């Protein structure tokens, strides 16, 4: 087995990042190699050396000052421009001629009748502008996939992957100490509450303030808290990579399929059989409730996955 | 509504649906998915183009039963269908042509996710082409930005990571500026659909109110999309990202991602602001200057470059200058020429990246020019394909690049005499520079090699066929330039 490097700094203590920085500096700030262009005449060499030294010491400093002051000036100028333009914009709700459009009136007056959502925000984001939200949930998906691609450690049995995993484990132990009794006891009370509350927000998204994104965030927060208190081994019993993949793929596929059904039937003038139902019931508003749940699951899983991947490189 | 009119929606929706499925597949099947879905997209958009030409007009597709302006809306016509066809075909051929490299350079645990990114990129491209709603455009810009960044960093090695970081920083800045721009537009008009914003802007302009915020929003959208499509002063993220990624990714980034942003910009110019406002805010003059700078300085950078893939990347900067030049003319003819150049350049650049990488592969992986001597003999098909791509970009007759430069020059001549003279001189100098760096490369790869080279990677025959398909498409575009230009011109007329 390969020599285990992490053991040293655990025993020595100290910050792993600091030591890595020292190695990094030793590599990057190594003395430069000699210039390949050998100048034949000593006077030429002297002149070259003078300019070379100038560009490396004084010249670099002058350039840095110029860049720094330019960037500050550009930032200030842009901010001033944006702020002054923002002052030129119409006051919120002031210019009646501008906001004279029937869209917002339609949403407020007719939204409930068309979508069956008591919470019209959910009606707008999941029904009227459902296509944008379909895109937004794929933004979360693509972000999670990218982080997965970048940070997930190899799962193989070869010594290198094993070492990488051990190192990540050691990092995790170093920065996130385990067995904190206060945290564990608080989370025993809080985590179930958070998860139930998240589920409530998801299921009631079309009736009360909330919906997919907010409910999913609460769910994800509950999972993250649980992970903080009890560690990867215990969380992995019910939420591991396979569960993550199945839930995210399933929820997205359900979302895309149901929106595809609604859009195609809507555009072709076919009755889709999803009436608004009885206002205020939990099973009303057509597909709004299942869609909220699907969005919430994607959001919650993404939040948890981002946290876990940044912390240890695995779920 | 006829059945084929569902095609624009299906072209966006199918890759999105299948991306979630692909994430759960094994890498081998995921790669097949990444080939199959763009191929299906190619067939679908070809059908859409034929039907659009037969129906002879454009149509709107409401998303949801309420339709616009309550919901979102798509719009398709000949120009959109032709662009969708080009994008899907290039996506398919890029994945196919770089297949061997994807397998070799991307570790197995990342390969499945790479395919997910390809599918999401396809969805994003199709959405940019067909959307009629500025906020939908922004949502899919986000998807495209992240997916394209992931395509770069899939090859998890030093230079590629550095390139991906730079790419992300600059592109997120661009997205932010674009978002600010459409936020100001929304604040002024309260609309998100392109025609509706245009109508309100026209009435605001006749009333003479809010001139400054309107100008600022035009500038913000212009700078945002210029950063994202690497117009000259904002191009610094480009060489590292293009030169270090796996060749399929470079081909997709240079020929698809930046082109989709340019098409979105063309839609802003024609449909949201209108050519009148575009000229009045002087954004046209600003773009004209930057496109001249880009054409010249991008070419000079390419001439100075000592490595093949970075040279091809810098040549993209110059070519994007050409496209913006067409847009900056502010005329229908100019925009049509810009769209033609978009297609010609996309085909040639994807071919150059993929065949150039094969030439490097045949030279022990060395990309310096002195090492590439004789690569054309070691990999004959790649050498021939590279020659075709290079000749197209230089503008040798019979190839796509010649026709596009001709149309562009003709569009420039419509300007005032002084401007037209400058434009023609810039185009001539840049063509000479293009010839300097591309033709010397072609000569280099057919020179006598200095040393012996080791064995080269073998590529599957279908993958080599992709290079031939690219070369044939470039030739076809050059031969049927007139009918293709007619389709584009009709599409541009319908866009206004």
Q: Per the CB < 8 Å rule, is B107 touching A154?
A: yes
One domain, residues A158 and A137: yes
One domain, residues A111 and A260: yes
Contacts of B200 in chain A (CB under 8 A): 98
Q: Which of A139, A149, A263 sits opposite B154 (nearest CB)?
A: A149
DSSP code of B256?
I
Q: When comparing pLDDT for B408 and A314, which is higher? A: B408
One domain, residues A274 and A164: yes
Query: What residues are paired with B339 via a beta bridge?
Result: none
Quick check: B198 and B274 in contact, CB under 8 A? yes
Last residue of a domain, one of A57, A89, A121: A89
Which residue of B12, B16, B165, B203 to mutate against A (max A Cβ within 10 Å)? B16
Q: Per the CB < 8 Å rule, is A264 touching B154?
A: no
Q: What is the pLDDT of residue B261?
A: 96
DSSP code of B131?
B
Go through chain A and tell me how many residues it has: 315
What's the maximum distance between 2 C-alpha atoms anywhere in chain B? 74
> Is B162 part of a structural domain of the chain?
no
Closest by alpha carbon to A154, among A315, A4, A314? Answer: A314
Q: What angle do CA B412, B415, B421 make, to 5 degrees?
A: 70
> Is B294 part of a structural domain of the chain?
yes
Rounded to 10°, the helix B158-189/B134-153 angle is 170
One domain, residues A155 and A60: no
> Is B71 part of a structural domain of the chain?
no
Q: Per the CB < 8 Å rule, is A132 touching B110?
A: no
Q: Which two tokens stand for residue B487?
A: 């389709």
> Is A1 part of a structural domain of the chain?
no
Rounded to 10°, the helix B78-97/B108-130 angle is 170
The ranges of chain B with pLDDT < 50 are none
Closest residue, chain B, to A138 (C-alpha): B143
C-alpha A284/C-alpha A275 separation (Å) is: 8
Give A21's pLDDT tier (boundaries 50, 70, 90).
Answer: low
> Is A14 part of a structural domain of the chain?
no
Rounded to 10°, the helix B7-23/B78-97 angle is 30
Q: What is the pLDDT of residue A8?
A: 55
C-alpha B120/C-alpha B21 separation (Å) is: 12
Interface ipTM = 0.92
Rounded (to 5) percent helix, strand, coil in chain B: 80, 5, 15
Quick check: B11 and B45 in contact, CB under 8 A? yes
What is the rounded radius of gyration, in angstroms, for the C-alpha atoms of chain B? 21
Residue B288 structural domain: 282-496
Give A18's pLDDT tier (boundaries 50, 70, 90).
Answer: low
- What φ, ψ does residue B332 adopt, rounded to 5°? -65, -40
Q: What is the pLDDT of residue A96?
A: 56
Quick check: B444 and B373 in contact, CB under 8 A? yes
> Is B39 part of a structural domain of the chain?
no
Q: Which of B69, B146, B212 sits opposite A103 (nearest CB)?
A: B69
C-alpha A297/C-alpha A305 separation (Å) is: 12
Go through chain B and tell me how many residues it has: 496
DSSP code of B4?
G
Q: Which of A103, A132, A146 sits opposite B72 (nearest CB)?
A: A132
Q: What is the pLDDT of residue A117?
A: 79
> Is B273 part of a structural domain of the chain?
no
> Is A22 part of a structural domain of the chain?
no
Burial class (CB in 10 A: 0-12, 13-18, 19+), B6: middle
pLDDT single digits (tens) A266-311:
888 887 777 777 777 777 777 888 899 999 999 999 999 999 998 8
Query: What residues are paired with B131 via a beta bridge?
Result: B74
Q: What is the pLDDT of residue A88?
A: 83
Residue A85 structural domain: 40-89
- Among A61-75, A168-182, B11-25, B288-302, which stretch is predicted with the lowest mean pLDDT? A168-182
Number of domains in chain A: 2
Closest by alpha carbon to B98, among B353, B316, B345? Answer: B353
> Is A24 part of a structural domain of the chain?
no
Q: How far is CA B353 from the centre of its chain?
A: 14
C-alpha B410/C-alpha B398 separation (Å) is: 17
One domain, residues A161 and A192: yes
One domain, residues A52 and A158: no
C-alpha B194/C-alpha B128 separation (Å) is: 13
Quick check: B100 and B463 in contact, CB under 8 A? yes
Give A176's pLDDT tier (boundaries 50, 70, 90).
Answer: confident
Contacts of B27 in chain A (CB under 8 A): none
CB pairs under 8 A between A and B: 159
CA atoms within 13 A on the CB side of B493: 8
> Is A25 part of a structural domain of the chain?
no
Identify the H or E element spanning B57. Answer: none
Closest residue, chain A, to B72 (C-alpha): A129
Q: Where are the alpha helices (DSSP H) in B329-361?
A: 332-361
Quick check: B410 and B493 in contact, CB under 8 A? no
Q: Rounded mean pLDDT of chain A?
A: 81
> Is A46 part of a structural domain of the chain?
yes
Q: Is the pLDDT of residue A244 over 80?
A: yes
Q: Per the CB < 8 Å rule, is B156 touching A246?
A: no
Q: Per the CB < 8 Å rule, is A263 touching B9?
A: yes
C-alpha A111/C-alpha A188 separation (Å) is: 41
Q: When comparing pLDDT for A88 and B383, which is higher? A: B383
Q: Which two tokens stand for residue A311?
A: 């912390």
SS3 track for chain A: CCCCCHHHHHHHCCCHHHHHHHHHHHHHCCCCCCCCCCCCCHHHHHHHHHHHHHHHCHHHHHHHHHHHHHHHHHHHHHHHHHHHHHHHCCCCCCCCCCCCCHHHHHHHHHHHHHHCCCCHHHHHHHHHCHHHHHHHHHHHHHHHHHHHHHHCCCCCCCHHHHHHHHHHHHHHHHHCCCCCHHHHHHHHHHHHHHHHHHHHHHHCCCCCCCCHHHHHHHHHHHHHHHHHHHHHHHHHCCCCHHHHHHHHHHHHHHHHHHHHHHHHHHHCCCCCCCCCCCCCCCCCCCCHHHHHHHHHHHHHHHHHHHHHHHHHCCC
Give A4's pLDDT tier (boundaries 50, 70, 90).
Answer: very low
One domain, residues A211 and A69: no
Quick check: B222 and B130 in contact, CB under 8 A? no
Q: How far is CA B389 from the centre of its chain?
A: 16
Contacts of B23 in chain A (CB under 8 A): 141, 145, 245, 248-249
C-alpha B175/C-alpha A33 separation (Å) is: 41
> Is A8 part of a structural domain of the chain?
no
CB neighbours of residue A109 within 10 Å: 11
Q: Reduced to 3 states, what is the DSSP secondary structure of residue B306?
A: coil
> Is B371 part of a structural domain of the chain?
yes
One domain, residues A140 and A250: yes
The pTM (predicted TM-score) of the whole model is 0.90
Q: Per the CB < 8 Å rule, is A253 touching B123?
A: no
Q: Per the CB < 8 Å rule, is A90 touching B210?
A: yes
Q: Which of B17, B21, B127 sits opposite A260 (nearest CB)?
A: B17
> Is B81 part of a structural domain of the chain?
no
Average pLDDT over residues A209-218: 90
Number of domains in chain B: 1
Q: Per the CB < 8 Å rule, is A145 touching B113?
A: yes
C-alpha A246/C-alpha B111 separation (Å) is: 18
Query: What residues are paired with B62 via a beta bridge?
Result: B73
> Is A79 part of a structural domain of the chain?
yes
C-alpha A161/C-alpha A1 separation (Å) is: 12
Q: Per the CB < 8 Å rule, is B70 touching A150?
A: no
Give A91's pLDDT tier (boundaries 50, 70, 90).
Answer: confident
Q: Which two tokens stand for residue B482?
A: 């007139």
One domain, residues A195 and A78: no
Q: Is the pLDDT of residue A3 over 50?
A: no
Contacts of A135 in chain B (CB under 8 A): 127, 136, 139-140, 142-143
Closest by alpha carbon to A176, among A312, A304, A20, A302? Answer: A312
Contacts of B140 in chain A (CB under 8 A): 135
> Is B198 part of a structural domain of the chain?
no
Quick check: B30 and B112 in contact, CB under 8 A? yes
- What φ, ψ does residue B368 adopt, rounded to 5°? -70, 150
Q: What is the pLDDT of residue A1?
A: 38
């Amino acid at each position: 087995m390969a020599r285990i490097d992490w053991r040293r700094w655990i025993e020595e203590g100290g910050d792993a990042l600091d030591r890595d920085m020292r190695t990094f500096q030793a590599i990057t700030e190594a003395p430069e190699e000699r210039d390949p262009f050998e100048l034949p005449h000593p006077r030429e060499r002297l002149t070259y050396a003078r300019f070379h030294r100038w560009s490396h010491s004084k010249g670099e400093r002058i350039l840095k000052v110029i860049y720094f002051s330019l960037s500050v000036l550009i930032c200030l100028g842009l901010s001033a421009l944006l702020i002054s333009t923002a002052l030129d914009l119409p006051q919120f709700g002031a210019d009646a001629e501008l906001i004279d459009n029937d869209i917002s009136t339609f949403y407020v007056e007719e939204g409930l009748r068309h979508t069956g959502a008591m919470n019209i925000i959910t009606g707008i984001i999941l029904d009227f502008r459902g296509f944008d939200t379909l895109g937004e949930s794929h933004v979360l998906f693509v972000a999670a996939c990218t982080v997965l691609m970048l940070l997930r450690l190899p799962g193989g049995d070869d010594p290198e992957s094993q070492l990488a995993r051990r190192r990540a484990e050691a990092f995790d132990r170093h920065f996130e100490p385990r067995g904190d009794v206060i945290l564990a006891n608080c989370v025993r009370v809080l985590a179930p509450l958070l998860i139930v509350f998240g589920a409530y927000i998801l299921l009631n998204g079309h009736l009360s303030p909330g919906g997919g994104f907010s409910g999913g965030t609460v769910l994800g927060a509950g999972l993250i808290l649980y992970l903080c208190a009890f560690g990867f081994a215990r969380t992995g019993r019910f939420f591991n990579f396979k569960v993550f993949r199945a839930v995210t793929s399933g929820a997205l596929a359900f979302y895309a399929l149901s929106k595809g059904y609604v859009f195609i039937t809507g555009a072709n003038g076919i009755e889709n059989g999803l009436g608004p139902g009885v206002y205020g019931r939990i099973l009303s508003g057509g597909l709004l409730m299942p869609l909220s749940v699907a969005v919430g699951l994607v959001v919650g899983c993404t939040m948890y996955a981002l946290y876990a991947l940044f912390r240890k490189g695995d779920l | 509504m006829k059945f084929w009119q569902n095609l624009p929606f299906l072209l966006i929706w199918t890759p999105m649906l299948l991306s979630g499925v692909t994430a759960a597949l094994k890498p081998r099947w995921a790669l097949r998915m990444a080939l199959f879905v763009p191929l299906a997209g190619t067939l679908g958009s070809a059908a859409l183009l034929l039907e659009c030409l037969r129906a002879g007009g454009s149509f709107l597709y409401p998303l949801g039963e309420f339709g616009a302006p309550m919901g979102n809306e798509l719009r398709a016509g000949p120009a959109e269908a032709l662009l969708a066809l080009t994008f899907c075909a290039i996506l398919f051929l890029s994945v196919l042509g770089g297949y061997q490299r994807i397998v070799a350079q991307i570790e197995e645990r990342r390969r499945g996710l790479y395919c997910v990114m390809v599918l999401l990129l396809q969805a994003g491209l199709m959405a940019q082409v067909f959307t009629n709603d500025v906020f939908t455009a922004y949502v899919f810009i986000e998807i495209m930005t992240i997916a394209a960044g992931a395509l770069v960093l899939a090859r998890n090695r030093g230079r590629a990571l550095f390139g991906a970081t730079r790419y992300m920083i600059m592109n997120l800045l661009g997205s932010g500026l674009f978002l600010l721009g459409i936020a100001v537009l929304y604040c002024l008009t309260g609309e998100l659909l392109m025609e509706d914003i245009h109508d309100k802007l026209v009435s605001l302009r006749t009333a003479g109110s809010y001139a400054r915020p309107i100008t600022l929003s035009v500038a913000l959208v212009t700078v945002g999309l210029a950063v994202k499509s690497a117009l000259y002063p904002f191009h610094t993220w480009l060489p590292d990202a293009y030169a270090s990624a796996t060749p399929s990714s470079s081909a997709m980034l240079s020929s698809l991602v930046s082109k989709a942003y340019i098409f979105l910009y063309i839609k802003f110019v024609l449909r949201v602001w209108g050519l009148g406002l575009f000229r009045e805010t002087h954004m046209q003059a600003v773009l004209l200057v930057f496109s001249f700078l880009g054409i010249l300085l991008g070419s000079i950078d390419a001439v100075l470059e000592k490595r093949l893939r970075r040279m091809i990347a810098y040549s993209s900067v110059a070519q994007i200058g050409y496209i913006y030049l067409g847009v900056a003319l502010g005329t229908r003819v100019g925009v049509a020429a810009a769209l033609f150049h978009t297609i010609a350049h996309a085909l040639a650049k994807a071919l150059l990246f993929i065949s150039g990488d094969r030439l490097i592969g045949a030279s022990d992986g060395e990309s310096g020019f002195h090492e590439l001597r004789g690569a054309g003999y070691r990999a004959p098909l790649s050498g021939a394909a590279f020659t075709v791509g290079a000749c197209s970009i230089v503008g040798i007759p019979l190839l796509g690049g010649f026709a596009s430069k001709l149309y562009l020059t003709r569009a420039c001549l419509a300007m005032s005499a002084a401007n037209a003279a400058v434009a023609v001189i810039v185009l001539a100098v840049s063509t000479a520079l293009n010839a300097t760096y591309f033709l010397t490369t072609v000569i280099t790869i057919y020179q006598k090699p200095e040393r012996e080279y080791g064995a080269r990677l073998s590529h599957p025959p279908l993958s080599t066929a992709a290079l031939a398909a690219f070369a044939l498409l470039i030739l076809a575009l050059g031969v049927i330039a007139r009918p293709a230009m007619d389709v584009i011109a009709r599409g541009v007329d319908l866009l206004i």
